[in-house]
């Protein structure tokens, strides 16, 4: 088997090849390490690549499990882990200078569960600093480049995760999604990204951005691989008080038809400024869903127009509280200041945090300050409740809701860096999902000007299997198997 065929495959296809004796986990792991060497000079999707000796040891253990019949669905599957998810003994920076050199003494729960399943961890993925961004240009180390174009962003904040899967550097990646940070980069890179219902997957070991919004989930080439991954990493975790005791078989509905299912299309998601090619691809995807027997109807979610403002009060406020722990005392970088500890903390944060992180800390601190709390943070939480109710009412009529994932395809590097508001608008279709704690999945639905477009499917809380069912039915019918044009190497 060629290196290309071993690095452009799904986890399910890879498992079949293992069981048929066509390849080994060791060969697949080495093929991915070679692929990383080839494309990383262009993509910069990884911040840390594990040593070959470590990766081969994991692969040999996987081969042993395959031989003795104790393998799981993810045994021998190469993974990238977003670098805001803790990995024992492996540098974890959240793409921030303030954590450069930090090596966690523990694994995040999701990493522990992947290791227990026999997955192969290849390394840590690049991201916007502390997951704050929509283009992966806010990384303190280097921007990620979309494998679909040498001057295009991959989306954010899980840009490294999406780019790595698209470029064949990993079969599956774990990302985090606070306002679209799994789904939006998946859309821009032509892969599948799934954000489960809030609380379905433990956040223990995730470096927190917005604790009431953050959710870990997979980026993969297929809907089925996303379902298998969440089956492995989900479930109650006593180390996370927000995790749900509600175990599902996320792959249970895959393959079921969607004949008679009702799909709502909210007009507010066809936003001003949506690119014509994106709109055309989205409308064609609705035609495919109708061809599968679904009943597609326009609907309205008026509070969508307020979601962006609500998010950019709640998320920075929570970030302001969460990032206060980075003071240069316990871990990470430390800058000596004169004449006292306060000066040292200010110097550390001034040097360690990037511009976007500082911007959001300032916004959040202001919103939480005396005299402004009721006007901003409390009001945003009240509107959040109304948004949740609006979604709840919509799902009394519809099984799922369909929207574009992003109003644009991958834009050029540097195009929006001087206009934060335009950058924030990149997440206008994904943010409401996090506000309401819903499951959402982005699946490729075509190309616009040669760049990928994503279809987003939303379901009610704990309706994850229904979202996966509809996305899988569309994926199998439309058969978009998007692979970036080579060469992807220097």
Distance CA 78, CA 54 (A): 13
Largest CA distance in the chain: 71
Asked, for residue 193, whether it belongs to a domain, the answer is yes
- For residue 421, give every residue at least 6 positions away whose Cβ sits within 8 Å of its Cβ, in sequence order, or none: none
- For residue 239, give every residue at least 6 positions away whose Cβ sits within 8 Å of its Cβ, in sequence order, or none: 109, 202, 204
Question: Is 344 annotated as catalytic?
Answer: no
Q: Backbone phi, then psi, for 311, in 5-degree steps?
A: -60, -45
Q: Is the pLDDT of residue 215 over 50?
A: yes
Considering the chain, what percentage of its residues have pLDDT values greater than 90? 88
Q: Is the pLDDT of residue 98 over 50?
A: yes
Confidence of residue 421 (pLDDT cuts 50, 70, 90): confident
Q: Is the pLDDT of residue 2 over 60?
A: no
Residue 332, phi-psi category: left (phi > 0), alpha (psi -120 to 50), beta (remainder): left
Confidence of residue 1 (pLDDT cuts 50, 70, 90): very low
Q: Is the pLDDT of residue 487 over 90?
A: no
Q: What is the pLDDT of residues 379-409, one digit of tens each?
A: 999 999 999 999 999 999 999 999 999 999 9
pLDDT in the model for residue 166 = 97
If you average pLDDT over residues 418-433, what whole number do you get? 89
If you average pLDDT over residues 172-201, what whole number do you get? 98
Distance CA 22, CA 9 (A): 13
pLDDT in the model for residue 246 = 85
Asked, for residue 486, whether it belongs to a domain, the answer is no
Place of tokens 């021998």: 76
Q: What is the pLDDT of residues 230-260, one digit of tens each?
A: 999 999 999 999 999 988 999 999 999 999 9
pLDDT in the model for residue 338 = 66
Q: Is the pLDDT of residue 369 over 60?
A: yes
Asked, for residue 98, whether it belongs to a domain, the answer is yes
Single out the catalytic residue among 17, 72, 82, 187.
Answer: 82
pLDDT in the model for residue 339 = 66
Q: Is the pLDDT of residue 349 over 50?
A: yes
Least confident of 1-5, 286-290, 340-344, 361-365: 1-5
Global pTM value: 0.96
Single out the catalytic residue among 157, 158, 285, 406.
Answer: 157
Q: Which residues of 374-394 are buried (b: 16+ CB within 10 A; e: fewer)?
A: eebbeebeebbeebbebbeeb
Asked, for residue 229, whether it belongs to a domain, the answer is yes
Number of other CB atoms surrounding residue 257 within 10 Å: 11
If you average pLDDT over residues 206-232, what whole number do you get? 98
Asked, for residue 213, whether it belongs to a domain, the answer is yes
Q: Is the pLDDT of residue 121 over 60?
A: yes
Peptide bond into 379 cis (omega under 30): no
Asked, for residue 411, whether it belongs to a domain, the answer is no
Asked, for residue 285, whether it belongs to a domain, the answer is no
* Torsion sign (Cα): 350, 355, 361, 363: positive
Question: Is 181 annotated as catalytic?
Answer: yes
If you average pLDDT over residues 131-144, what whole number do you get? 97
Q: Is the pLDDT of residue 147 over 50?
A: yes
Single out the catalytic residue among 96, 135, 158, 181.
Answer: 181
Domain extent at residue 193? 3-261
- Can you give the CATH number for the domain in which 146 is found? 3.90.1300.10
Distance CA 3, CA 286 (A): 36
Asked, for residue 183, whether it belongs to a domain, the answer is yes
| 3 state SS for the chain | CCHHHHHCCCHHHHHHHHHCCCCCHHHHHHHHHHHHHHHHHHHCCEEEECCHHHHHHHHHHHHHHHHHCCCCCCCCCEEEEECCECECCECCCCCCHHHCCCCCCCCCHHHHHHHHHCCEEEEEECCCHHHCCCCCCCCCCCCCCCCCCCCECCCCCCHHHHHHHHHCCCCEEEEECCCCCCHHHHHHHCCEEEECCCCCECCCCECCCCCCCCCEEEEECCHHHHHHHHHHHECCCCCCCCCCCCCCCCCCCCCCCCCCCEEEEEHHHCCCCCCHHHHHHHHHHHHHHHHCCCEEEEECCCCHHHHHHHHHHHHHHHHHHHHHHCCCCCCCCCCCCCCCHHHHHHHHHHHHCCHHHHHHHHHHHHHHCCCCCHHHHHHHHHHHHHHHHHHHHHCCCCCEEEEECCCCCCCECCCCCCCHHHHHHHHCCCHHHHHHCCCEEEEEEEEECCEEEEEEEECCCCCHHHHHHHHHHHHHHHCCCCCCCCCCCC
Q: Backbone phi, then psi, for 305, in 5-degree steps?
A: -65, -20
CA dihedral 157, 190, 282, 296 (to 10 degrees): -90
Q: How many domains does the chain have?
A: 1
The average confidence (pLDDT) of the chain is: 95
Question: Is 195 annotated as catalytic?
Answer: no
As to burial, measured by CB atoms within 10 angstroms (0-12 exposed, 13-18 middle, 19+ buried), residue 150 is: exposed
């Amino acid at each position: 088997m060629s290196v290309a065929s071993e690095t452009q495959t799904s986890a399910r296809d890879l498992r079949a090849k293992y069981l048929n004796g066509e390849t080994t986990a060791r060969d697949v792991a080495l093929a991915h390490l070679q692929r990383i060497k080839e494309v990383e000079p262009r993509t910069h999707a990884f911040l840390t690549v594990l040593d070959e000796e470590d990766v081969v040891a994991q692969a040999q253990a996987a081969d042993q499990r395959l031989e003795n019949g104790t393998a799981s669905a993810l045994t021998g599957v190469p993974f990238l882990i977003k670098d805001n998810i803790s990995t024992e003994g492996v540098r974890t920076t959240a793409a921030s200078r303030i954590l450069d050199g930090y090596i966690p003494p523990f694994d995040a729960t999701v990493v522990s569960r992947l290791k227990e399943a026999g997955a192969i961890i290849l390394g840590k993925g690049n991201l916007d600093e502390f997951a704050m961004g929509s283009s992966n240009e806010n990384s303190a180390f280097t921007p990620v480049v979309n494998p679909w174009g040498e001057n295009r962003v991959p989306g954010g904040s899980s840009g490294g995760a999406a780019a790595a899967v698209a470029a064949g550097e990993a079969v599956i990646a774990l990302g985090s999604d606070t306002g679209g940070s799994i789904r939006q980069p998946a859309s821009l890179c032509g892969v599948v990204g799934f954000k489960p219902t809030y609380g379905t997957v433990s956040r223990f070991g995730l470096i927190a951005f917005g604790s009431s919004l953050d959710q870990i989930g997979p980026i993969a080439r297929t809907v089925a691989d996303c379902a298998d991954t969440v089956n492995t990493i989900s479930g109650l975790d006593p180390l996370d008080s927000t995790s749900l005791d509600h175990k599902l078989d996320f792959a249970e509905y895959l393959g079921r038809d969607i004949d008679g299912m009702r799909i709502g299309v909210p007009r507010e998601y066809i936003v001003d400024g949506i690119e014509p090619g994106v709109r055309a691809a989205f409308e064609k995807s609705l035609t495919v869903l109708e061809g599968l027997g679904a009943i597609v109807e326009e609907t309205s979610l008026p509070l969508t127009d307020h979601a962006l403002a609500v998010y950019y009060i709640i998320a920075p406020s929570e970030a302001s509280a969460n990032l206060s722990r980075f003071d240069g005392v316990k871990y990470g970088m430390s800058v000596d200041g004169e004449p006292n500890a306060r000066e040292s903390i200010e110097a550390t944060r001034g040097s360690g945090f990037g511009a976007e992180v500082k911007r959001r800390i300032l916004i959040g601190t202001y919103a939480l300050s005396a005299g402004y709390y009721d006007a901003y943070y409390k009001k945003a939480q009240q509107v959040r409740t109304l948004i949740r109710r609006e979604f709840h009412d919509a799902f009394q009529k519809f099984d799922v809701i369909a929207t574009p994932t992003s109003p644009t395809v991958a834009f050029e590097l540097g195009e929006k860096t001087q206009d934060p508001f335009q950058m924030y608008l990149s997440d206008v279709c994904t943010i409401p999902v996090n506000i309401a704690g819903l499951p959402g999945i982005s699946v490729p639905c075509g190309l616009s000007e040669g760049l990928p477009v994503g279809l987003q499917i939303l379901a009610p809380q704990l309706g994850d299997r229904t979202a996966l069912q509809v996305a899988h039915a569309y994926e199998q019918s439309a058969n978009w198997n998007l692979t970036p044009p080579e060469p992807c190497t220097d």
